[in-house]
């Protein structure tokens, strides 16, 4: 457990850094035609396998109606397959379709390329240090 003043300072720094990094990365999304909420849901389906609407809503921390719309948009574009649960007819199971996986990979790579460009301006040692620090502090959620 960290000293309070240091915690304070790092929380502030992390907040600013997160805003800066995502704002920078988001510029890559403008090409992609699929918004960040849709990409994020698609990412869960691609790397985490099929999920119900409710599960997706919980993972993405949005309300069910919001996830309904996100999934509808993905479905209209052919990026997910939908089917009824065989054991519970209320439940809709979503699965990433081939085109969805492809678009996700592409959009994700565009974001990572931008962040990489940002990091490549920095010293190797500093980047390695950041890698180590992130590994230490963040467990593998999301």
Partner DNA sequence: ATAGTTAGTTAGCCTAACTAACTATATTTC
Partner DNA sequence: GAAATATAGTTAGTTAGGCTAACTAACTAT
Can you tell me the distance from the alpha carbon of 46 to that of 102, in angstroms, rounded to the nearest whole number? Answer: 10
The token pair that represents 141 in the structure block: 């959620």
Per-position DSSP letters for 47-104, written without gaps between them: HH--EEHHHHHHHTT--HHHHHHHHHHHHHTT-EEEEE-SS-TT-EEEEE-HHHHHHH
Instruction: Decide whether 122 or 142 has the Cβ nearer to DNA.
Output: 142
Judged by CB under 8 A, the stretch of 15-23, 69-77, 89-97, 98-106 that binds its own copies is 15-23
Which 71-110 positions form the footprint of its own copies (CB under 8 A)? none
Judged by CB under 7 A, the stretch of 8-16, 66-74, 115-123, 125-133 that binds DNA is 66-74
Site residues (CB under 8 A) for its own copies?
A: 1-3, 6-23, 25, 27, 40, 61, 111-112, 115-116, 118-120, 122-124, 126-138, 141-142
């Amino acid at each position: 457990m960290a000293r309070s003043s240091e915690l304070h300072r790092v929380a502030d720094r992390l907040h600013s850094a997160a805003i800066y990094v995502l704002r920078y990365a988001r510029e890559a999304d403008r090409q992609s035609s699929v918004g960040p909420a849709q990409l994020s849901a698609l990412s869960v389906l691609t790397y985490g396998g099929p999920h119900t609407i409710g599960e997706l809503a919980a993972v993405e921390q949005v309300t069910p109606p919001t996830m309904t719309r996100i999934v509808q948009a993905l479905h209209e574009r052919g990026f997910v397959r939908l089917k009824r649960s065989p054991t519970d007819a209320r439940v809709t199971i979503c699965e990433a379709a081939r085109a969805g996986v492809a678009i996700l990979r592409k959009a994700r790579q565009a974001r990572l390329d931008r962040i990489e460009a940002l990091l490549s301006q920095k010293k190797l040692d500093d980047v390695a240090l950041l890698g180590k620090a992130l590994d230490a502090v963040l467990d593998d959620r999301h």
